[in-house]
Structure 1
């Protein structure tokens, strides 16, 4: 496990501003896209963090504004319960070993995510999405700002 940095409290680690770079690959047809922007993990009323991501997503040569919001709620032992903006469950997040693998079924598709922490200021996610209409890989690098 030497390549991953253990995180005893995921909410404390994530709190703050992050620069985000994401590549999106459509493995079925070979298209590639890119998202560049920022993510802010700020205090959430009642406890936890509100994750706000905003930036520009470029797909097939067309750049568009993109954003998303998630809620990171306190879990046991320094973990978190991740929820969509509307409160629906997404996945749990346990970075106590510096690495966590999750699955999330979404309609007929299955999302498999791997979260890894490199150091105090860098972490990444890799989501693999498979289903009847999707065959995607999304790789996101986060670098702390400030």
Structure 2
């Protein structure tokens, strides 16, 4: 996603609701490509924050399978930011979209996940995750479009 960024004063308020998701997955080592299509719902969590529930179909090497993912977006240390955690509560990354763009890193065993989040406007945002290391060499590009 290029061009200008759209600043978000409160990431949790911005994300709340239902988003259509399209994700391109490229394995740079093998040249294989996959695609995820589905929805992400950011619903209220008791005690504050949002529960991110993603569901859809992931197609890899011509085989389509159901896929889901759950994350927790909790209020961050700074107003308007979020602390993103895995479903089991382990830390994933911080998220600050007050400039309309954020770069996050997450070490996973010997691999490093580096994500760039960009906001285009009130109804469009995206991520590009680059995963590199001995086990993985991937680029995951995701676009989100607000529904309703």
Q: TM-score, normalised by structure 2?
A: 0.97
Matching of residues 33-112 of structure 1 within 5 Å: 33-75=34-76, 76-112=78-114
Q: By how many angstroms is 1:129 displaced?
A: 0.1
Residue deviations 1:67-111, cap 9 Å, x none?
Answer: 000000001220000000000000000000000001000001000
Task: Give 4+ residue runs of structure 1 displaced > 6 Å after superposition.
Answer: none
RMSD (Å) for aligned C-alpha atoms: 1.1
Counterpart of 2:22 in structure 1 is: 21
Matching of residues 133-144 of structure 1 within 5 Å: 133-144=135-146
Write the distance in 1 (CA, Å) between the matches of 2:20 and 2:109.
30
Write the distance in 2 (CA, Å) between the matches of 1:106 and 1:46.
28
Report whether the alignment pairs 1:8 with 2:14.
no
| Structure 2 residue matching 1:12: 3-state secondary structure | helix
Write the distance in 2 (CA, Å) between the matches of 1:45 and 1:131.
37
Alignment length (residue pairs): 146
Q: TM-score, normalised by structure 1?
A: 0.98
Report whether the alignment pairs 1:126 with 2:128.
yes
